[in-house]
Amino acid sequence: MINMVIYLIAVTVFMIQCFIMFFVYLTEKKPRKHATPVASKSTVPMDEFFYFILIPCLNEGKVIQNTLQNVLKLPGQKHIFVIDDDSIDDTLIKVNNVDGPISTIRRKLPKARTGKGDSLNTAMPMIQIYIRRHHLDPSRCIVGVIDADGVLSNNSIEKLNEAFHNPQTAAAQLRVKMKAPKRILQIFQDIEFFTINHLTQMFRSYLGAVALCGNGQFFRYSTITKKLGTAPWGNALLEDYELTLRMELNGIKIRYIGNAYVDQEALLSVKKLVVQRARWAQGGFNCWKYFKKIFTSRKMSPTQKFDSYFFFFQPILNLLADFSIIYLTVKFIILHLQNPEFLSVVFIALAILGLFFGTMFTLIYLRQLKLHKRIGQIMKSDDMFNFRIRIQKMFLAVGLISYIYVILFFSLLLSIYHELIGQQTWNKTNRI
């Protein structure tokens, strides 16, 4: 009985989430069907703000040079801080081969590799020195974080300028996209980030509860240092969500920018995906230490608190639901083992029903790609889904979107195991 109750609760929550995202998509302002690429009409000067771009690195020699070159091509005033976390490859050599306003912060063991948040915090005193030395206005200084494989879209500075031109904007998060998705697992991650996470962030915008991502987060230096100090990031394995909570607990709202994005590389193996998501799930558990502060906070809105509580408890609900599904499925098979025809019909019907939401999200993803490409917001043709072989890949992508919980079930188990044994090490994904 308890398994059925848990299962029904989980299914209800899942369907509510999906229908909310469908509603957001239907009501979202979209580019006009016959829109064409147009030149920027932003009224905010490109040099309105000074950008400090932080790029944490650990053995990023394969990607860092391309990332630096792309950032340097962007308009506006900027200085890049590469934070090397005691790399043992040619990361520093590649960085030194790129000319431009770039500074390298070198961390050495045993003080290195202590987490992404700790790494990012080491750059804040350097930014403070730079601001004083160059007599910059702290309120016009924007600190941004991109991954070592991150590439900002060509219109990102323009859209960030428009957002921070409003003095009430203290932080902003760009849309996230996977770079050149070709394999099925890459396409799944692109659908997840470019479409599902985008629609989730749009809904969070309505709630005033936008969450930062590890890639493409930006904040106004003066506001954040005034309220959070010069070490705003914490030591959770999910440092971006911890920073989100710290901002919300101090009355800081985050703005979501959905019409500019940051590219990042997608994972190519299921094993790496499981390890990555286990780290994310465990990082969420790390943030439970804020539960009491959230509950008693007078600065967080009720919708922000609800969003946090849901974020905390959803992994537990998912795990219980997975166990319930396994139990109920095995029990159902045993009860009808003598009637294989009935079993086959039931499982085919359930499989078709299960594919519905994956199909819908995949179709929305394809439509969004077409629209954004038409108005020039997709940077490269490689970022597009290969439509010439779309039937096969669409079918496989639909299946993966619909049943990814089977894979991520192991991520939840791994995250709980790591939490129970006290393993808090940062399992960084290595470049191929």
DSSP string, 181-234: --SHHHHHHHIIIIIIIHHHHHHHHHHT-----SSSEEEEHHHHHHHH-S----
Model confidence at 268: pLDDT above 80 = yes
What is the distance between the alpha carbons of residues 304 and 308, in angstroms, rounded to a whole number?
6
Model confidence at 387: pLDDT above 80 = no
Please give the order of strands across the beta sheet that includes 141-145.
Answer: 102-106, 77-84, 50-57, 141-145, 217-220, 171-178, 254-264, 151-152
Q: Which of 3-7, 192-196, 395-399, 412-416 has the lowest mean pLDDT?
A: 395-399
Reported confidence tier of residue 394, pLDDT bands at 50, 70, 90 = low
pLDDT tens string 114-128: 999 999 999 999 999
Before 110, cis peptide (omega within 30)? yes
Contact 180, 382 (CB under 8 A): yes
Summary mean pLDDT of the chain = 89
Domains annotated on the chain, with CATH: 1-32+42-432 (3.90.550.10)
What is the distance between the alpha carbons of residues 6 and 11, in angstroms, rounded to a whole number?
9
Q: What is the DSSP letter of 153?
A: -
What is the distance between the alpha carbons of residues 222 and 212, in angstroms, rounded to a whole number?
18
Residue 161 pLDDT: 97
Tokens of 378: 């997709």
Reported confidence tier of residue 362, pLDDT bands at 50, 70, 90 = confident
Query: Please, what sign has the CA dihedral across residues 287, 150, 268, 197?
Result: positive
Burial class (CB in 10 A: 0-12, 13-18, 19+), 376: middle
Q: Which of 217-226, 360-369, 382-391, 420-429 has the lowest mean pLDDT?
A: 382-391
